[in-house]
Structure 1
Amino acid sequence: MYQLTTVTKRYQRGKQTINALEGVDLTIATGDQLVVQGPTGGGKSTLLQMLGALDRPTAGSVSIDGTDLARLSEAKLTKVRAATIGFVFQSFNLIPTLSAQENVETALVPLGVKPAARRKRAAEALQLVGLGDRLRHLPSELSGGQQQRVAIARALVKEPKVLLADEPTGNLDEDTRDEIMGLLAGLWKDRGLTFVLVTHDSSIARRAPRLAVINNGRLKVTERTP
């Protein structure tokens, strides 16, 4: 699925050069689950941006199914993101003036799905995450956990191959965190997704079948014995 080869990413901050990633080598197989942990500023979000085709490396290559993302045009990268990759963020990123169903539908617009099919698929996705009775509710009428469920439905409605989650439980209490992680784990297994999760939460990291720790742009992967 993913092959990262000596990936380096540098940013300029004034006269200072920031090495966000430094010679990262990583393989993520189809259907794999990888949890990424590390300190703030260590490179976690930069790594996720590379996997999500949201940024390009300064050096090295990021390939998905044998295609080097760095060599694609912006238009082709947009198509890869729209069709292949689902994103879930800590802040939910829901549009406040749209209902739960309408928020989920937004993921299907770039794919050219017709309105009637969009409504049907969005309703089915919300049913899947336990919100079949909240289709017309605005984000402000939903709890934090429910809003994150809408965000997960939005990520999954386009039937992506990859699910990337950046601190998806960071704004949730402990009980809701466990509910959301249980939901994500179930969806990963049921759908055969390639699932990459960035988290600060050590309790989540301890349960990961495969853990990548990133610090100062350098990555170390630990395989767990089942």
Structure 2
Amino acid sequence: MYKLTGVTKNYTRGKETVEALRGVDLTIEDGDQLVIQGPTGGGKSTLLQMIGGLDRPSAGSVELDGVDLASISEARLTRVRAEKIGIIFQSFNLIPTLTAQENVETALVPLGVKPAERRAKAAEALDSVGLGDRLSHAPSELSGGQQQRVAIARALVKNPKVLLADEPTGNLDEGTRDDIMALLEGLWREHGLTFVMVTHDSSIARRAPRLATIRKGRITLTEQQPQPAL
């Protein structure tokens, strides 16, 4: 379970201080699906970075299973991210010189998984997202939707507790967007993940049971009846 208390994040731009988050309080239960929306610059990606341990707040605490990600050492934080948190980005963030299988294997290297086991787990993860026949393809040989599937496999290969997605369909056409969302929602249910996603797409936001709207660093939570894809 996540518990965010009084999370504030300030950035300095020249002589100006920008408040990206202002005293955010938020609880995310195990297995929750939460979508974060808001205007550009409103703080939604900053909030996701706090939840993912990619950045630390200026004030407040970000607890995951009782461990405050804001105060632990960098080495321990890196370990928590490696073991518990899978992250998907809009731009895929694949290494262009590696194959699909090798890209997925990179998530297992920090965990000390041996090469043969890494290869087997990566192949299994790619098969689970429909790319079992694309193991040796480079990112440049894959479509945008296929590259995002590789990124999803990389996030899930280590069996994380938490799956975070920052605009995962932002670079995809409408049909591919729906395919990727159906895949993510299916994996969320199958694996019992805690799933938190940032999106600007209201049609996607309506599909989640909980919606967090951020404006000027402040959060409003809404419980909603999930709407199926059209």
Q: What TM-score does the superposition give when structure 1 sets the normalisation length?
A: 0.99
Q: Offset at 1:208?
A: 1.5
Paired residue for 1:54? 54
Paired residue for 1:115? 115
Paired residue for 1:169? 169
Paired residue for 2:188? 188
Please, which runs of 5 or more residues in structure 1 have no aligned partner?
none
Measured in 2, the distance between the counterparts of 1:184 and 1:207 equals: 12
Q: Offset at 1:70?
A: 1.4
Paired residue for 2:134? 134
Q: Offset at 1:214?
A: 0.4
What is the SS of the residue equivalent to 1:168? coil
- Deviation sequence 1:105-129 (CA, Å, 0-9, x none): 0000000000000000000000000
Q: Offset at 1:71?
A: 1.6
Q: Offset at 1:13?
A: 0.5
Paired residue for 2:208? 208
Q: Offset at 1:220?
A: 0.3
- Deviation sequence 1:122-149 (CA, Å, 0-9, x none): 0000000000000000000000000000
Paired residue for 1:158? 158
Measured in 2, the distance between the counterparts of 1:71 and 1:44 equals: 22
Q: Offset at 1:207?
A: 1.6
Measured in 1, the distance between the counterparts of 2:131 and 2:207 equals: 27
Percent of aligned positions with the same letter in both sequences?
78
Letter of the 1:19 partner, please give it: E
Greater displacement, 199-208 / 176-185: 199-208
Paired residue for 1:41? 41
Measured in 2, the distance between the counterparts of 1:70 and 1:35 equals: 22
Letter of the 1:163 partner, please give it: L
Please, which runs of 5 or more residues in structure 2 have no aligned partner?
none
Greater displacement, 53-62 / 174-183: 53-62
Measured in 1, the distance between the counterparts of 2:29 and 2:210 equals: 11
What is the SS of the residue equivalent to 1:222? strand
What is the SS of the residue equivalent to 1:149? helix
Runs of 4+ in 1 over 2 A off after TM superposition: none
Tell me how large the CA RMSD over aligned residues is.
0.7
- Deviation sequence 1:85-119 (CA, Å, 0-9, x none): 00000000001111000000000000000000000
Q: How many residues align structurally?
A: 226
> Any residues of structure 2 matched to 1:1-40 within 5 Å, and which?
1-40=1-40
Q: What TM-score does the superposition give when structure 2 sets the normalisation length?
A: 0.97
Q: Offset at 1:225?
A: 3.7
Measured in 1, the distance between the counterparts of 2:166 and 2:146 equals: 17
Measured in 1, the distance between the counterparts of 2:222 and 2:70 equals: 27
Paired residue for 1:64? 64
What is the SS of the residue equivalent to 1:70? coil
What is the SS of the residue equivalent to 1:179? helix
